[in-house]
Amino acid sequence: MRLHLAALLLAGSCLSIPTVAHEFTSGDLHILHPWSRALPPVAPTGAAYLVIENRGERSDRLTAAHTPIAAHAELHEHVHENDVMKMQEIDSVEIAAGGSVEFAPGGHHVMLFGLKEPLAAGGEYPLTLVFEHAGEVEVTVMVQGEGAADEGHPGHGHDHH
């Protein structure tokens, strides 16, 4: 009876465990849930969002990104200037030792120019992040459908705060 009860409890707990971990680790860097918002097929640009955690004792710096689905990618941020929010390219993003940086709508993001294929809901694509110390780290970006959270939390139960 105890064995049967233990088996039922184990089976029930397995149902609540996500089947796909959408995290990537390279050395001290941990990259959580890379995602993009689905866009109309004719959209020439898109953006990728993610969280980068640095679990090490030395800072690192994201210096570039590239993907085969776009002509080129740039690191961007949103800034408020004269009561206007604008987007601008940046050279790099520091990920402090023991810290994290969130790439989210309205903040840091990887801008994708010259999309070679549409960002369709349910799709995915490779994105290579280039770090000063960790080197190149390839992640898989999941394309979220309508309603992908504008706050940067795409609704997969991930809480990065």
The answer on pLDDT for 69 being more than 80 is yes
Model confidence pTM above 0.85: no
> 22-144 has which CATH code?
2.60.40.1890
5-9, 92-96, 157-161, range with greatest mean pLDDT: 92-96
- Residue tagged 């050279």 (tokens): 91
* Number of neighbouring beta carbons within 10 Å of residue 141: 24
pLDDT at 111 (0 to 100) = 98
Domain locations in the chain as residue ranges? 22-144
Three-state secondary structure of 57-103 = CCCEEEEEEECCCEEEEEEEEEEEECCEEEEEECCCEEECCCCEEEE
What's the rounded mean pLDDT across residues 35-48?
96
pLDDT at 16 (0 to 100) = 33
The rounded distance, in Å, linking the Cα atoms of 134 and 53 is 13
Q: Are 61 and 131 in contact (CB under 8 A)?
A: yes
The answer on pLDDT for 161 being more than 70 is no
The answer on pLDDT for 158 being more than 60 is no
Please state the length of the chain. Answer: 161
147 confidence band (pLDDT: 50, 70, 90): low
Q: What share of the chain is helix, strand, coil (3-state, %, to 5)?
A: 10, 50, 40
What's the rounded mean pLDDT across residues 123-148?
92
